[in-house]
């Protein structure tokens, strides 16, 4: 069904690819960065402004929305798109990562995960079937399989056991998604590769996912504290194990230089809270690297963060004042700038790959962005 989900690769350079995902709610240009809208909002941003800085798709969070305001309430109010005022594609994660990281009281079984809400301690059960139901009630366009994301540093046996269970959950997710009738007919389902940093486990996971069959494939279990060097070492082989004609999504990544390195290794999609969270905390991303706007050296700096930024009419001195004063506008402007910058990085990579100059672009980016040692 061509109007449901298609992925077309228009150019490659090495392992890097650029292309377009087409869905009923619009096109997603790849490589793509998805701003994170955890609780049905990209923090400090209006939806029109998120679109205005170049985002084609945003991410919503199953775990947070199932607890508040509840998926059932969102469905009653017309679905997540209508609820938050965003008419383009939305990807929802499965809730698995948040259950593992935010719920101190949890019990993992073959059925799923029983946990206590971090909000009020209420008890909940999240299974592959319930995750698919929640994402169906939300009405998301790209649905993620329910999986377990093991912590960094677990033993190989623990990683293998977790990965095998995630693959069984992937099959149950596939069955439950397909039972979703209208939602399944217009949405896409992505599987999630696990296996920690182990090449053999990653291959076993990829083979299991390909046997089930998905519209796209995510690389999970990274950006959990292993560091960039170890992450890149895993990405040297993990994306190659996934189908070349499907989108590859690296979950929860990352810093701008992480994105460039991952695209070099064949990744097409990303999400991360870093540009929004960092913005609220006074960190701005620029072509010359990140800067802390709270630093006293910016107190009388009349220049903008970037002359092309949507925040260019305001000086670093004014942003310094807003952030140091705890003014809401400071968080808004810093967030808008950071999300704009991330989209500029993605647009730069797309253009460079299309024109066969990505290696030069990436080297130039790193030469300017990374600290000089």
List residues with catalytic annotation.
Answer: 93, 271
Q: What are the angstrom distances between the C-alpha of 298 and each of 15, 283, 323? A: 40, 12, 11
Give the mean pLDDT of the chain: 96
**Residue 350 predicted with pLDDT over 90:** yes
Predicted confidence at residue 103, as pLDDT, reads 62
Asked if residues 176 and 132 have their Cβ atoms less than 8 Å apart, the reply is yes
Burial of 22 (0-12, 13-18, 19+ CB in 10 A): middle
Whether residue 123 is predicted with pLDDT greater than 60 in this model: the reply is yes
Q: What is the pLDDT of residue 247?
A: 98
Residue 30 is predicted with a pLDDT of 99
pLDDT band for position 97 (cuts 50, 70, 90): confident
Q: How confident is the model at residue 96 (pLDDT cuts 50, 70, 90)?
A: confident
At 56, phi and psi to the nearest 5? -95, -20
Tell me, what's the pLDDT at 330? 98
The DSSP result for 322-335, as a single string, is HHHHT-HHHHHHHH
pLDDT at residue 1 in the model: 41
What is the pLDDT at residue 368? Answer: 97
Nearest to 128 by CA among 174, 160, 79: 174
- Among the ranges given (7-11, 97-101, 274-278), the one the predictor scored with the smallest mean pLDDT: 97-101
Q: What pLDDT does residue 2 have?
A: 47
What pLDDT is attached to residue 37?
96
Longest dimension (CA), the chain: 60
The larger pLDDT score, comparing residue 371 to residue 172, is at: 172
Over residues 175-181, the mean pLDDT reads 96
Exposure b/e, 169-198, CB count within 10 A at least 16 = b: bbbbbbebbeebeebbebbbbbbbbbbbbb
Q: Taking the alpha carbons of 325, 326, 328, 331 in that order, is the dihedral positive or negative?
A: positive
pTM over 0.75, yes/no = yes
The confidence score (pLDDT) of residue 34 equals 98
Q: In the beta sheet, which residues pair with residue 213?
A: none
């Amino acid at each position: 069904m061509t109007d449901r989900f298609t992925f077309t690769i228009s150019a490659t350079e090495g392992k890097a690819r650029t292309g377009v995902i087409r869905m009923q709610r619009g096109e997603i240009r790849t490589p793509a960065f998805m701003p994170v809208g955890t609780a049905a909002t990209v923090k400090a941003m209006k939806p029109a402004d998120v679109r205005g800085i170049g985002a084609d798709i945003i991410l919503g969070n199953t775990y947070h929305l199932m607890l508040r305001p509840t998926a059932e309430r969102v469905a009653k109010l017309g679905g997540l798109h209508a609820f938050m005022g965003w008419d383009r594609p939305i990807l929802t994660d499965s809730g698995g990562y948040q259950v593992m990281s935010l719920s101190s009281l949890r019990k993992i079984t073959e059925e799923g995960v029983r946990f206590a809400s971090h909000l009020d301690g209420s008890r909940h059960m999240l299974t592959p079937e319930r995750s698919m139901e929640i994402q169906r009630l939300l009405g998301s366009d790209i649905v993620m399989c329910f999986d377990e994301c093991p912590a960094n540093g677990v033993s190989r046996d623990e990683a293998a056991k977790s990965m095998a269970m995630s693959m069984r959950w992937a099959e149950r997710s596939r069955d439950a998604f397909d039972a979703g009738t209208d939602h399944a007919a217009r949405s896409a389902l992505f599987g999630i590769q696990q296996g920690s940093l182990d090449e053999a486990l990653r291959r076993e996971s990829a083979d299991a996912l390909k046997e089930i069959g998905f519209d796209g494939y995510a690389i999970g279990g990274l950006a959990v504290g292993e560091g960039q060097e170890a992450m890149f070492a895993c990405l040297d082989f993990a994306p190659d194990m996934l189908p070349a004609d499907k989108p590859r999504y690296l979950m929860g990544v990352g810093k701008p230089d992480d994105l460039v390195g991952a695209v070099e290794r064949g990744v097409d999609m990303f999400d991360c809270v870093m540009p929004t969270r960092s913005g609220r905390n006074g960190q701005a991303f620029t072509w010359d690297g990140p800067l802390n706007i709270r630093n006293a050296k910016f107190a009388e700096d009349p220049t903008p963060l970037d002359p092309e930024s949507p925040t260019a009419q305001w000086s670093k001195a004014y942003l310094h004042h807003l952030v140091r004063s705890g003014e809401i506008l400071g968080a808004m402007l810093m967030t808008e700038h950071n999300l704009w910058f991330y989209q500029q990085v993605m647009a730069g990579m797309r253009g460079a790959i299309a024109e066969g100059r990505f290696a030069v672009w990436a080297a130039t980016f790193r030469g300017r962005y990374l600290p000089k040692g």
